[in-house]
Structures are given as C-alpha cells and as structure tokens.
Amino acid sequence: MPALPPGLLPQGHPVLDTEDRGTKSSLGAVSLVRCGPRRADLASLVVSMRSPRGAIEILVSRSPAPLGDLREALPERAFGLVAPRGNPGRPIEPGPLAERAVRAEERAHAEGAERVTRTPTVASPEGAGEYQLRLGDGCHRVQIMAAVPSTFPHRATDVDAEARDDAGRTLARDRSEAADARLDFCLGEATRVTVPYAGAAGMVPVIATDAVWPIPRAIPNHWGARTRAGFAYALRRRNAPEPTTAPVFESLGVAGPTMVPITLEPGRCYLAAVAVARGESRGLRLAATVGDRYMRDEVVDRPEGAALAFCAESEELARIDVEARGSGVWWTFALFALGGGEP
Amino acid sequence: MRLPAPLASLVLAALAAGCGGAPVTPTKPATATPAPPRVLSGRADGRALLTADAARVQAAGAGALEVVSSEYLSEGDRLGAFVEVPLDACALVMARGSPSVVDVDLFAYEDDGASFAVDESTDARPALLVCPPHPKRLWLAARVVSGSGLVGLGVQSVPTSAVAAVEQAAGARGRSGGETGRLEAWPGLEAKLIAHRAWLGGRWEDVRRAAVPVAPRAATRLTVAVEAGRCLDVFVSPSDEIGSLEVLAEDPAGRILARGKERGKDRAIVLCSATTNEVTVAIRPRASTGLVAVVASRSAPGAGAALDVSARAEHVTETRELDAARAALAKDLAGKGLGAPKTVFVGSAKLGSRAATSLDLPAGCARIDVVAGKPLADASASLWNDRGALLAEGRGGAGVTLFACGPSGPARLDVEALARPGPFAVELRKDDAAPAALVAHPLAAARLLAVLDAGGARISAAAASAAQVVSLDAGARTSLPFDVPARGCVEVAAALDRGGSGLDLRLADASTGENTVTRGRFVLTDRLCAGDAGAKGNAELRLLAGKADALVLVRPLAP
C-alpha cells in the first residue's frame, strides 16, 4: 500500500482503490489478520465508513496464533442463520376503528396540529366511497380508516385513497399496503377536495380525520395559492425551521436549469425554498453552493416544492441552482433569513 | 340406426363421462413445458411517426426520408446517431413521438461535443434545419422531456433553393431569415427578431425560446450559456401590458455583466466570451405583471468581430486583442466628462500572483480601467493608498473598473488573473466632476460608483453628484422620504464607508404600506415604482454592526 498523503480522503482517492482492496464489515466489525512476513501489510490502513455518522474503535493485538472468529468476541452481534422468508400470512388486523382514530388524533396533536376533525361515513358494499371535503388553507393530514368486520370470513382492510382538488389535480395519493390511508398535502387557500377511497372490508363504518397545521405567516401569499402551498409543503417535508420574517430574496423562473446568484450575510443561516406556481411538474431540484459546500434537495414524487437550509460562514455569495422538469412549469424561489445575525 | 356393440359401449362411456356421473381426474397435457418465449431480432420502427410530416416537407422540396433511429423511450431517455451531411447542402432533422410522448427536444452536436443546433420547444414536434457552413458529420440526438413512448428520428436532404419552403412546412428553427412558424401566439415576434438579427449582422441560431412570467416584485431568471468563441444574443419582447422592462445579465457571482439595450419596448443583450460561461438573464418589469418572450441565439464561432458596433456587445471574457479593447473603451468613454486617458501600466496578469504598479492619484475623482486583452479572463484589481488602506477593489471577466475619489497622493494597484493569464493595461482618467461628498468618503464613493457603472453603463462621478452622506449605526434608523413620479421608478443606492458592515434597507410605499427589505454587506440598491397616481416613498436605512457613514443616492430611473 502506498504511503498515505496528508489530508487523505479515502473515498474516490486517485491512489487508493478502497473499493477493490477493502475488506467489508460484518456484524458492525471488520477483522484483518496477517501472520509472519505478511504482517507488513498492516503497516498502513484506511478505514472508510459508509454510514453517515458513528464512532469506531480500533483494536490492534499481537498473538502467537490467530485469535479466532470475531463472533466469539462479539456474541451479541451474531444473528445466526438467516431463515427463508416464507409466507407472512394475512395482514394484521388493525384494531378497533375508534382506537385508531384516537391514536391518529393524538399523534397529530403531538406533532403540533392546530386542530383535528372527524368525518364518519359508511363504505359501499365493495368497500369503496368518496369524501367531498371543504378544507381551509394550511397543511393537512387526511387519514381514512375503515372498521374491521367482527364476522368471519372477511376481506383484509387495506384502504387506499387519493386527494384531488377542484381542477382534478392530484394533491396526494396513498397506495401503500397499510390498513389506513394517509394523505399529506398543503393548500394555499380554502379548497374543495375530493377523496375517493377503496379497500375497506365491505360496507363498514369509515372515519376520515383531518389534522391541520397552519402555514407559517412568513410564507408570501403574493405569488398565489399554489405557490404558498408548495412552499409550506416543502418546509414541512424537510421538517425545516419555520421562517419568521418575509423572504429577503425572491425570483421567478421556468422549466430547465436556472442559476440564481444570491448575496449573503456572513454568519447568518438561510432557508431556501422553491415552489411550483403553474404547470405540470415532473421533478424539482434545488441546490445551493456556498463556498466549497454543496446542499441539495430533489423531489420526484409530487414535486410541488423543495427546500434546504444552509449557513454562510465567511461567504458573501452563494449560487442557487433550480432545475424544474415538466410541462409549462413556472416556479418561485424564496430565500428566508433565519436566526443568527439579526440585530 | 344400430351401432356395433364395441362402438356403442364407447359412446355410452363417453356420455356417462359427459354427464358427470363419475369423477374424472384431469390429465396433464402430453407436453407439460410450454414453449419458451422467443427473442425477436426486430427493431423499433418509428417511420410511421415521421411519414406524414416527411411527405409534407417533401412536397415543399425536401428529399426522401431517412430514418436515423427509432426507440421506445421514457422520460429522460435519448436516442441518437451520426449523420453525414454534404458540406454544400442543407438537411432537415425531425423527431416525432407517439401520442403518449408529450415533449421531445432535438440536438445536433459537432464532433468535439459543441452544440450545433438545438430545438427545445415544449412539444413533441421538434425540427432543425442544418445549412452550410456546417461540419461534415453531426451527432443527432432526441431526448424525451415529458411522456414516454415510441420516438422516431429522421433526416431529409434539402436543396438550398427550397430551404425557406421546407423551413415553413416543417416549422424548423430559422436559418433562412423567413418566418419560422414558432411561437405563433406571440404576434410579430418573428418579424422583430429578423429585424434585430439583421441589425446585429452575422448569422444567429436559436438556443432557447421561452415565454416567461414577469412581475415587478422579483426578477424572472433564465440561464443560458455563452459558448467559447461565440456571442450570445438575448432578445426580450414584452407583451402589451408590460410598460417598461429591465433586463440584466448576471454571472454566477451575481455580478452584472450587461444591461439590456432598448429596442423600442424590447430589450436585447449581446454577450461575447472567449471561454464557455453560464449567464443568467434577469428580467423585471417596472410596474405591471405579464409575460415576455425570450429568444436566446448564438453566433457563429468568432463572430464577435463581425457584429455591428451599435450592437454594443459586452465581453464576458475578453475576445479582442488588448489594443482593440482599449480603443473600444476610449470610444465608449468619449464625451462622458472624463479627461484624456493616461496609460499607467501595460503588463501581463498571472494566476496565483499579483502584478503591482504604482500610480499617482489626482485630487478629486478618477476612473481607473484595468483593460484586459485576449486571453486574460476573470481579473481582480485592488487599489491601496500609501498607508496600506484599501481605496477600491473589483473583479470582472473582461477587465475591472475602479473609482478613486479623495486627495491626491501615491497609490498602488494590484492586478491578478483568476481564470486565465493574459495582457492588460491600466488607464487612468481624471474625472471632471468631483462631488464633495464623494471626495470626503473615498471608499463609499468607490463602492457607489462601481454599482452605478455595473453592466457597462460607463459612468463618471457626475452620476453620483446627488449622493448625500448619512451617518448610520446599529442602534438607530435613518429615514429618507422621496417622491415617485407617476408610472416611474426611483432607485435608492447606498454604499458604506469605513467602520461598519451590514446595510439594511427597507423601501416602503407610504400610501400602501407595501415594502421590501434588502440587505448587503457594504453596498445595496433597490427601487420603488409607482402606478398612474405616483407615490410617496420612504427609504429606511440601518446598520447591522458598527458605525459608519454611507453615501446614499436617490435617483429617478428613466422610464
């Protein structure tokens, strides 16, 4: 192995090929044993961790004979034989409807929902139905839960649903294999929302819960309801800090790659967000280059908005790149100043 | 009829089985293994997608259709192939998709990867007309932007006599100077574009066309590349409801490279560069909201010299020899209230080292131009007094302009190449104007004049003669009321002198309360526009840290 250059970054290093020469870990540990003259192989080692963060401990031991299997030293990490996957059987019954509805409400309140409302109905004999909801502006989590029949045999409960606005635009869709359907979306203004569902176990009681989170006041509304909703959804999806002041910079753009140069205050943190204002978006990417740091957020599934946060250290400039794909897409970019640096 | 006994027993047995009287075990077919699927050697055939349009252009004079390639593609996929076109002939390239393909783009590349022609219109009917001079062979590529399905790529020869008719029939990107048939929803755009290109001179090819929304609250941005050795023309035509429009070209660092020149209600920017550069075009109307058509076109390689002088091409990086660049600058600065140029230094800027030269600054104000010559790209310059205090600094792709106001005295100028080394000359012009506020605040004056000069405005200190001195500190707010004329705009520019940092400007319309906040470390600009009734504006300035004087200029913008 060649001498390691100072400041070595193993991943992608032109001299060291960690992919080919590396020994991969098992049980969260890796052991290299060399005996006799081959001990010289261990003169220099490069340890590369694939996990984003963690702590590692390095142990070096010399012994007259190999120390044995690592599993003997770390028995708690040995997982034994891997069983064949087999048939998991029927889906687990989700439990009583009332309890599930209460759990959904409690979870929403714990996450800071402003209010939660319930709307009961009964599914058709085919286990399907449709809600017509008049929803106010804000970010919504609509959950559709169906009761499980007490008689046997009965169909499995796997409710799928989608939410559409007046114009027929899909706001959210759930086709997962969970018993309840969950639809997360944001509305920039009061909207009539249609929620068709299917997958209940016949003509059973169904409850729709709607948990609402308010849109941060700093999100501008002068670009229209869809943009406001797009910003709100992007921030919520990234669990981003809520901006408290109006954007310090805004820009508009269209489909294709667009570079937006922005000026920064050293020491201040920023939240950058882009939201679709018009058109059928098929992908949205937002990237920020601040000095030698690069941040990115890419949305492919319902790409209505993207967001990322970054801080300026000594930099006074940053490069924002917005790439929107789709048909007739117009977007709005906003930069919010956060916290530090405010007098 | 009487059946023979053995046959009768067989019939009875069959009837009994058919009535289901006895359980029957189904028997497996003799051949239990089905025949394996066969892999066929055929290829996707997109000829049918191209035939109808090919026939129409054939009727207009084009040759027979040659299918270059066909493939089933999904979003983001592409197909392509090399095509040889006789050097003295034209060729029409078309891509067509099945109904499920919503948007296809078409590209023609030269051997070295340089883009020769592009059709990025937002439909599934792209077409390019390749005419001399063109390389012997081109790589033709079609890319599905939206949708998925079968895509066919075809090419047809076109005699030069039939170019205009074929172009019209195919809706191809313009080469002949005739109407292209694109953006029909924009009445008169093609005619304007043809007149504009005729005025520029040279040959231009579309790079990008788009209809974009614009609003006075924020600029709309569009990024295009200025290819090495070529010029880029950006033509912006507003819809009827847009009164006045500001168009800027910005580099990745946010520097203003050029401002749109007026062509009636339209604006145009011509940028030339010796290296490939990304440029963002920022478009902002002064009052109303609406749409603008943006057409970006590129010149032939090396066309910078052939452009009409009145096109006033801006050089992102210098494409001219040093003498030519100096002559052009002298012409631009003539009659601007500046004295005769004094050549302070002629030398070569290098990467990673600074060329330093001494100079004597005159009392009052002076303009110092670091003029770059080919191939110098991206230069920085800083001006220091004899006590080592910074007087002015700047950076530019094709040279740097610094402004020095204050008492006379010795100074030092450092010049460094940041992208590519090359020759440069330093020219000093004493300014006829020496506003007292600027002379008393040299650093703020340098910053303010640099902002006003951005984008090739070629100003002298007289442009800031109305600047006023405002003392700022972190604990106080300063208000400057002003009037905005009807259907006009007022620009507020502020620049800090020594001692503080973090300018914060809140520009408010006193009647509506609407306001915008702009922040900058040492310098900032913003503007307020009014409708038919005019408006009362208020500029509130504060400092985020320290204490410093600032020069603030409140000036009306030309309608």
For B40, the token pair is: 């066929």
Q: Which residue of B has its CA nearest to A254?
A: B212
Mean pLDDT, rounded, of chain A: 85
Q: What HEC string does B431-461 produce?
A: ECCCCHHHHHCHHHHHHHHHHHHCCCCCCCH
What is the ipTM metric for this complex? Answer: 0.71
Half-sphere exposure of A16 (CA within 13 A, CB side): 18
- Dihedral of CA atoms A104, A109, A115, A118 in degrees, nearest 10, equals 20
Residue B180 has pLDDT above 50, yes or no: no
Of B103, B222, B474, the CB nearest to A253: B222
| Contact status of B328 with chain A (Cβ, < 8 Å) | no
Strand order across the beta sheet in which B137-147 lies: B78-84, B137-147, B101-109, B115-119
SS3 A99: helix
Residue A116 has pLDDT above 60, yes or no: yes
The phi, psi pair for B90, rounded to 5°, reads -100, 165
CB contact (8 A) between residue B223 and residue A257:
yes
Q: Is B203 exposed, middle or buried (0-12, 13-18, 19+ CB in 10 A)?
A: middle
Confidence of residue A7 (pLDDT cuts 50, 70, 90): very low
List of long-range contacts for B345-348, beta carbons under 8 Å, 24+ apart? B345/B413, B345/B425, B345/B426, B346/B322, B346/B423, B346/B424, B346/B425, B346/B426, B347/B415, B347/B423, B347/B424, B348/B421, B348/B422, B348/B423, B348/B424
The angle formed by the CA atoms of residues B460, B465 and B471, to the nearest 5 degrees, is 125
| Contact status of B217 with chain A (Cβ, < 8 Å) | yes
Q: Give the mean pLDDT of B468-496.
A: 90
Confidence of residue B71 (pLDDT cuts 50, 70, 90): very high
End-to-end CA distance of chain B: 112
User: What is the predicted pLDDT for the residue at B303?
Assistant: 65
User: What is the predicted pLDDT for the residue at B360?
Assistant: 94
* Least Cα separation, residue B295 to chain A (angstroms): 14
Amino acid found at B166: V
For A123, the token pair is: 């599914």
| Contact status of B146 with chain A (Cβ, < 8 Å) | yes
Confidence of residue B13 (pLDDT cuts 50, 70, 90): very low
Pairing label, strands B65-73, B101-109 = unpaired
pLDDT higher at B1 or B260: B260
SS3 A111: coil
Q: Which residue, among A258, A269, A336, would best test binding to B if mutated, counting the most B CBs under 10 Å from its CB?
A: A258
Q: What would the DSSP string read from start to end of A53-94?
A: S----------SS----HHHH-GGG---PPPP-----SPPP-
CB contact (8 A) between residue A260 and residue B278:
no
Q: Give the mean pLDDT of B227-255.
A: 86
Q: How far apart are CA B30 and CA B354, in angstroms?
A: 90
pLDDT tens track for B430-442:
999 999 999 999 9
B174: which DSSP letter? Answer: P
Spell out a b/e string for B60-99, using b for 16 or more CB atoms within 10 Å of the CB, else e: bbbbebebbbbbebebeebbbeebebeeeebbbbbbbbbe
Confidence of residue A110 (pLDDT cuts 50, 70, 90): very high
- Do residues A188 and A228 touch, judged by C-beta distance below 8 A? yes
The angle formed by the CA atoms of residues B192, B198 and B203, to the nearest 5 degrees, is 115
B237: β partners: B293
For A246, the token pair is: 């109006």
- Do residues A91 and A179 touch, judged by C-beta distance below 8 A? yes
- Do residues B405 and B442 touch, judged by C-beta distance below 8 A? yes
SS3 B100: coil
pLDDT tens track for A164-216:
998 888 999 998 888 999 999 999 999 999 999 999 999 999 999 999 999 99
Pairing label, strands B314-315, B266-272 = parallel
- Do residues B503 and B496 touch, judged by C-beta distance below 8 A? yes
Q: Give the mean pLDDT of A156-161.
A: 92
A contacts of B282 (beta carbons < 8 Å)? 251
**What is the distance, to the nearest Å, from the Cα of residue B26 to the centroid of all Cα atoms in its chain?**
74
A contacts of B101 (beta carbons < 8 Å)? none
- Do residues A265 and A249 touch, judged by C-beta distance below 8 A? no
User: What is the predicted pLDDT for the residue at B191?
Assistant: 82
User: What is the predicted pLDDT for the residue at B257?
Assistant: 86
User: What is the predicted pLDDT for the residue at B17?
Assistant: 41
Q: Which of 308-337 (A) contact B at CB < 8 A? A: 316-317, 319, 325-328, 330, 332, 337
Amino acid found at B121: S
pLDDT higher at A274 or B519: A274
Q: How far apart are CA A18 and CA B53, in angstroms?
A: 54
Q: How far apart are CA A124 and CA B129, in angstroms?
A: 59
For B431, the token pair is: 């300014």
Task: Please state which of the ranges B112-116, B213-217, B275-279 shows the lowest mean pLDDT.
Answer: B112-116
Residue A13 has pLDDT above 60, yes or no: no
End-to-end CA distance of chain A: 54
Closest by CA to B449, choosing from B533, B351, B501, B523, is B523
Q: How far apart are CA B152 and CA B81, in angstroms?
A: 12
Pairing label, strands B535-557, B500-509 = antiparallel
Counts for chain A of helices (H) and strands (E), in that order:
4, 14
Of A252, A257, A259, the CB nearest to B220: A252
Q: What is the CB neighbour count within 10 angstroms for residue A6?
A: 5
B contacts of A250 (beta carbons < 8 Å)? 217-218
Residue B16 has pLDDT above 50, yes or no: no
| Contact status of A254 with chain B (Cβ, < 8 Å) | yes
Q: Which of 196-225 (A) contact B at CB < 8 A? A: 222
| Contact status of B533 with chain A (Cβ, < 8 Å) | no
CB contact (8 A) between residue A250 and residue B502:
no
* Least Cα separation, residue B215 to chain A (angstroms): 8
Q: How far apart are CA B11 and CA B9, in angstroms?
A: 5
Most confident of A312-316, B117-121, B183-187, B425-429: B425-429
pLDDT tens track for B374-431:
888 888 899 999 999 899 988 888 889 999 999 999 999 999 998 889 999 999 999 9
Residue B7 has pLDDT above 70, yes or no: no
Residue B194 has pLDDT above 90, yes or no: no
**What is the distance, to the nearest Å, from the Cα of residue A244 to the centroid of all Cα atoms in its chain?**
23
Of A254, A265, A332, the CB nearest to B222: A254
What number of residues does chain B have? Answer: 559
pLDDT tens track for A55-87:
788 888 888 887 777 777 777 776 666 666 677
Confidence of residue B33 (pLDDT cuts 50, 70, 90): confident
- Do residues A116 and A105 touch, judged by C-beta distance below 8 A? yes
B489: which DSSP letter? Answer: E
SS3 B329: helix
User: What is the predicted pLDDT for the residue at A99?
Assistant: 93
CB contact (8 A) between residue B517 and residue A316:
no
Spell out the domains of chain B, with CATH numbers in brackets.
45-178 (2.60.120.380), 188-316 (2.60.120.380), 322-456 (2.60.120.380), 468-557 (2.60.120.380)
Quote the percentage of chain A above a pLDDT of 90.
51
* Least Cα separation, residue B259 to chain A (angstroms): 16
State the alpha helices, DSSP H only, in B293-441: 322-333, 436-440
Spell out the domains of chain A, with CATH numbers in brackets.
1-84 (no CATH), 97-213 (2.60.120.380), 225-338 (2.60.120.380)
A contacts of B75 (beta carbons < 8 Å)? 282, 325
Amino acid found at B361: L
SS3 B296: strand
B contacts of A252 (beta carbons < 8 Å)? 212-215, 218-221
Q: Give the mean pLDDT of B47-52.
A: 91
| Contact status of A261 with chain B (Cβ, < 8 Å) | yes
CB contact (8 A) between residue A265 and residue B145:
no
The torsion region of residue B225 among left (phi > 0), alpha (psi -120 to 50) and beta comes to: beta
CB contact (8 A) between residue A259 and residue B120:
no
| Contact status of A269 with chain B (Cβ, < 8 Å) | no
A182: which DSSP letter? Answer: E
CB contact (8 A) between residue B250 and residue A317:
no
For tokens 């520009």, the residue is: B507
B contacts of A325 (beta carbons < 8 Å)? 75, 145-146
